[in-house]
Copies of this chain bind each other. A is one copy, B any other.
């Protein structure tokens, strides 16, 4: 708990200081980036990011005000919306990724051997995939 709290806090502070993006906003942007067409239904990233539906609504509102995301109607379901990463959002994300990669490198990559990194990756994958 200490280790992960520290990494999340450092990521949050680093991203806020350099790019004005919280680590949760970063996580949603990354999730959009990895989605087909950089686009997801509102309810989908909530699962991955561990945010309640209302929490996601408000986070996307902020990203929309900051012109990083747009909300579009879902043509196949009138109840639903899609969040789409804008060009500006993509640029901000690219910059933020550099900062975030540096922080992760400082905590893990620089401190562990290649062997340990492989072990850690395998363990994370196993725990994560088992649960999905």
Binding site for B on A (CB under 8 A): 1-9, 23, 27, 48-50, 107-108, 111-112, 116, 119-120, 122-124, 126-128, 130-131
Task: Enumerate chain B residues within 8 angstroms of A1, measured Cβ to Cβ.
Answer: 8, 23, 27
Copies of this chain assembled into the complex: 2
Task: Enumerate chain B residues within 8 angstroms of A6, measured Cβ to Cβ.
Answer: 50, 131
Residue of B nearest to A120 (CB): B123
Residue of B nearest to A116 (CB): B123
**CB <8 Å contact, A111 and B130:** yes
Closest 10 CB pairs of A and B: A5-B50, A4-B4, A119-B119, A9-B50, A3-B128, A111-B130, A120-B123, A116-B123, A111-B127, A1-B27
